[in-house]
Structure 1
Amino acid sequence: MTHNAIQRLLLKRFALAAGTYALALVLLWLAFFTGHYDQPLTNVAVGSALVVISQAALFAMFYSGCNLKCADPSLTEVQVLMGLGWQTWLIANLDEARGSFLVFYVLILLFGLFHLSRRAFLRCTLMVFFSFSAITLWEGYHFQLTDPALAALQVCVLFIVLVWLELYARYVQASRQRMRQRRFALQAHQDTLRGMMRQLEDLVATDELTGLFNRRHFLRLASRELNTMDADVVHGLALIDLDHFKRINDIHGHAAGDQVLQAFAAVASACLREGDVLARYGGEEFVVLLPDCNPERLTSCCERLRIAFTDVELIGLKVGNLSLSAGMTLLELGDDLDDALQRADQALYRAKRDGRNRCAAAWENVDA
């Protein structure tokens, strides 16, 4: 998730907590007007104002992004401890309605159930129990409890609820840890699977011997280029055949032929620019697609390939003079790829018929 997305999520959580504070304040004033809150109006107003100020300060931290500088950007433990402090202050000033407001302890702890660590959650539960017990003992010591048996029962009930929350929090956190580990394991499996899929795609698209694209992948790429080309753009297409390749295989063996194919692939890849497409079309035949090309550039590129290939020297192998023949054509908008390949093939046939080791263009006059 991005920082903005995380911050929006934290603001939503804060809004939920602020809404809980608003509900508590409504109940506080309701308890005051019904006579269950034993404090003057001034104390109630000041306490309510301090609660609002504390929430405004937290909102300012979230809104300004200062919370992102903290170890815990959610400020969960801070909010929980602050909420428990205000709740304890409220409980200390209630009389018969004290038991009804104990539920807010549970709400505050549930706010941190999924985000606090085990130790932090235990600290918060201990703070709740000892705070409420201290209030009860203080009032009991000063004989201020109207019903000591009810107060003792409230302490026992709170203790049982806190123990249950602590055990449930451990269960939830252990479950989240297991789910996190499974998610990481699943992510690792997905990454492995994606890597294998990429390898399979490479195997499907690549000629194993030369490392170039194979015929199927070239036809897919060329068709896509034709479908997306602009009206004023022309592509160059050339079929290249290595001369006397069968004789090399017959005299020197197929291993030597494979070495010649690999040498051409290396030379041709070095001569082409980024964006040009080179593929093994089949056997000793290769195909080149030059996007955004013109006749002069296509001819220059094929001649450069031809000359570079004639200068190749194979290590540990003497196969005589290497050469190639090329048939060139141009692709325009609306052109059919099969027709263009047929034109290039006819030009290639003419280059071989005229003596090989040359480049012939489909736009040239055949009778010239």
Structure 2
Amino acid sequence: MTPSSQAGTRRSLQSLLLKRFGMAVGTYVLTGLLCGVGVFAGLFNAPPLAVLGIGALATFSQLVFLGLFLSRLNLRLADPSLTEPQVLVALLWLTALLSQFSEGRGSLLVMYMLILLFGVFQLPPKVFARCALVAFLGFAGLNLYEAYTLQLRAPRMALMQACVLAVVLVWLCLFASYAQAMRQRMRQRRFALQAHQDTLRGMMRQLEDLAATDELTGLCNRRHFLRLASCELENLRGDRQHGLALLDLDHFKRINDIHGHAAGDRVLQTFAAVARACLRDGDVVARYGGEEFVLLLPNTEADQFTACCERLREAFSRAEPLGVQVANLSVSIGMTLLSADDDLDEALQRADQALYQAKRDGRNRCAATWEDVDA
């Protein structure tokens, strides 16, 4: 992964974490509104200033978390979302807030669940169970302390509330474990799907290569060459020209009859290797069919094209196929030039006519359609 892509990933992650933090802040705001209702209903033991003090400290804690996110110090931690610290701090402030209620404490127990739901899909099951235990111990400890100091007004109601909270927390722990297992399974399936997709893409590339390549020589096949030549012709502009040639190995049938088809295959492979060595980058040579090949030289002139074809013809005449004793290798070449307003099929016909002219003139030579025009 490049540094720029890594930076983009970090920015995306930090943006997501800030959104989750905004949801946590929204929970604090809703809890504050509920406290306002409690103050209005006269359900607090402490004066409103105590509630405001708890609210101020809770706000300060959130500003600390916000500073960690904005400074990106959270990205250096094992859990950049800071889910567990945020959950524990929220549970602490909720328990402190419940200690100020005289009645209606049970109506705010739902806030314990709301806080813990924040970590259902993020915290590992053991960490979530630890947070749930902190919530239960906080609420149970609050009631036990009030019972010890004889401040608990309704012990039976407090016992019922603690039991309900315990049942709900156990259910949340089981649900968190199930959610994490499902998330892990989905992650594994996603990785498996990604691996299958990579395999399929690799197979598609192999199929494309097989569809575009002649298996024996490793050159482009006829279909792929025609597609490339059509694209080159469409992109041809102005007075530029492309060179197009058809090449036919001389007396190839005799080689097969005398030396066998394996020798013939080795001769075809030898010609392909010679052609690759003689051509420039960007030049295209393909097996057109049987012992016939086709050549395309983009952006060339008649004399340059002729020199290239002559160089190829002479190099092949000196070639010695490995493991085969074949003498007098030669190739006949028919050349033409492609202009911007040309038709590829007509140009191939011109090259084919020039090739037959080279054959009639004795083989092992190059013939060109523009020579006929000059004559």
AA of the residue aligned to 2:366: C
**Aligned pair 1:242/2:249, yes or no?**
yes
**Aligned pair 1:301/2:321, yes or no?**
no
Q: What residue is the counterpart of 2:290 in the other structure?
A: 283
AA of the residue aligned to 1:243: D
Q: What residue is the counterpart of 2:266 in the other structure?
A: 259
- TM-score normalised by L of structure 2: 0.91
Q: What residue is the counterpart of 1:51 in the other structure?
A: 58
AA of the residue aligned to 2:170: V
Distance 2:254 2:347 in 1: 29
Deviation at 1:51? 2.5
**Aligned pair 1:106/2:113, yes or no?**
yes
2:124–2:177: 8 Å Cα contact kept in structure 1? no
AA of the residue aligned to 1:337: L
**Aligned pair 1:25/2:32, yes or no?**
yes
AA of the residue aligned to 1:60: G
1:28–1:37: 8 Å Cα contact kept in structure 2? no
Tell me the secondary structure at the aligned position of residue 316 of structure 1. coil
Tell me the secondary structure at the aligned position of residue 239 of structure 1. strand
**Aligned pair 1:123/2:130, yes or no?**
yes
Counterparts of 1:70-149 in structure 2, within 5 Å, are 70-149=77-156
2:246–2:352: 8 Å Cα contact kept in structure 1? yes
Distance 1:232 1:47 in 2: 84
Distance 1:50 1:232 in 2: 80
Deviations 1:164-197 (CA, angstroms, capped at 9, x unpaired): 1111111222222222222222222222222222
Deviation at 1:37? 3.1
Please identify, of 187-196 and 336-345, the stretch whose mean Cα deviation from structure 2 is larger.
187-196
Q: What residue is the counterpart of 2:73 in the other structure?
A: 66
Distance 1:60 1:230 in 2: 60
Tell me the secondary structure at the aligned position of residue 94 of structure 1. coil
Distance 2:68 2:240 in 1: 56
Say if 1:48 and 1:234 are closer, same or farther in 2 by CA, change over 3 A.
Answer: farther
AA of the residue aligned to 1:37: F
1:32–1:38: 8 Å Cα contact kept in structure 2? no
Among 300, 318, 321, the alignment partner of 1:314 is 321
Say if 1:106 and 1:200 are closer, same or farther in 2 by CA, change over 3 A.
Answer: same
Say if 1:45 and 1:331 are closer, same or farther in 2 by CA, change over 3 A.
Answer: farther
2:256–2:263: 8 Å Cα contact kept in structure 1? yes
Q: How many residues align?
A: 368
Deviations 1:270-312 (CA, angstroms, capped at 9, x unpaired): 3323332221110111112223333343233322322222221
AA of the residue aligned to 1:166: C
**Aligned pair 1:156/2:163, yes or no?**
yes
Say if 1:136 and 1:295 are closer, same or farther in 2 by CA, change over 3 A.
Answer: farther
Tell me the secondary structure at the aligned position of residue 329 of structure 1. strand
Distance 2:69 2:312 in 1: 63
Calculate percent identity across the aligned residue pairs.
63
Counterparts of 1:161-200 in structure 2, within 5 Å, are 161-200=168-207
Say if 1:321 and 1:123 are closer, same or farther in 2 by CA, change over 3 A.
Answer: same
Distance 1:291 1:37 in 2: 89
Structure 1 unmatched runs, 5+: none
1:140–1:148: 8 Å Cα contact kept in structure 2? yes
Q: What residue is the counterpart of 1:362 in the other structure?
A: 369
